A = this chain, B = another copy of it.
Amino acid sequence: MTTFGDSLMTLRDTTPLIHCITNYVAMNSTANLLLATGASPAMLHATQEVAEFAALADALSVNIGTLSSPWAEAMLLAARTAREHSTPWVLDPVAVGATRYRQTVCADLLALKPSVIRGNASEILSLNGLAHQGRGVDATASTDDAITAAMALAERQQCIVAMTGERDRVTDGRVCYSINGGHPLMPRVTTLGCGLSALVAAFVATNPDAPLNASSAAVACFAAAGERAGEAARGPGSFYVALLDALYQLTPDELNRFAQREVSDAL
């Protein structure tokens, strides 16, 4: 069995090329989070080139944050290409519950079978409702409901669902890992979740046959680095700087020790 540390080492040795179609807020930080960890980001979205490039990339990460028509078209083109080439792709359904437009686009993207869905509890609940009933679901449901929704969504979509929050959960619909760590400052820095989605793509690219393990490794990597970054941070500004440094410094051994301590399959 591949340890999380093995996955991190493979990622650094192979520097997978991650095609990111992500929102304007997250582009810079996503590229920096990937580079700090050891992957190679590429941001491009023109319909003239998006399929050509998706065919070259080692994984694709699609994030609907600042969605609009030309971008939605590019996302669908790229996801379709990824699927044709058996390239893993990750869907980050930002604020899918907020507007009907997001629900429509996400329904189209779900039909293209993402390898992994990464979102917060509200987004996973909305997305599961969407897959199930064709509409959004109240985001104020309890955490227990969210876990049930995450597992149901993973099973129905035959994909991995990585649901992040105070405690992170990663599931394939049967097994569900629980990952502690991170830091309370993380939600005070914008688009860290968006960056994590791209990092999940990078880890899955290095281990496409074990997406549950690879997604969990990415989530654990972020949680471990976040924990370390929080030790010296004086606020969200210094936290973000320290997080990039921590992702760069994190060793495979440290990640394995973190996983032994903080990852379990007990809900």
Q: Across the interface, name the chain B residue whose C-beta is closest to A31.
A: B190
Question: Which residue of B42, B68, B243, B248 contacts A188 across the interface (Cβ within 8 Å)?
Answer: B248
Q: How far is the CA of A56 from the CA of B136 in the complex (A)?
A: 16
In the complex, are the beta carbons of A42 and B235 less than 8 A apart? Answer: no
How far is B42's CA from A102's CA once the two chains are assembled, in angstroms? Answer: 14
Contact assessment for A52 and B99 in the assembled complex, using a CB-CB cutoff below 8 Å: yes
Q: What is the CA–CA distance of A145 and B191 in the complex, to the nearest angstrom?
A: 41
Contact, CB under 8 Å: A189 / B235: no
Query: Would B28 and A190 count as touching, CB distance under 8 A?
Result: yes
- Contact residues, A192-208 vs B (CB, 8 A): none
Interface extent on A, as a size class? Answer: 35 or more
Closest to A42 in B: B95
A79 to B190, CA, bound (A): 24
B residues near A35, Cβ cutoff 8 Å: 187-190, 236
CA distance A101 to B74 in the complex (A): 14
**Which residue from chain B places its CB closest to the CB of A38 in the assembled complex?**
B188
Give chain A's interface residues, CB within 8 Å of chain B.
23-29, 31-32, 35-36, 41-49, 52-53, 56, 65-70, 95, 98-102, 187-191, 233-238, 240-249
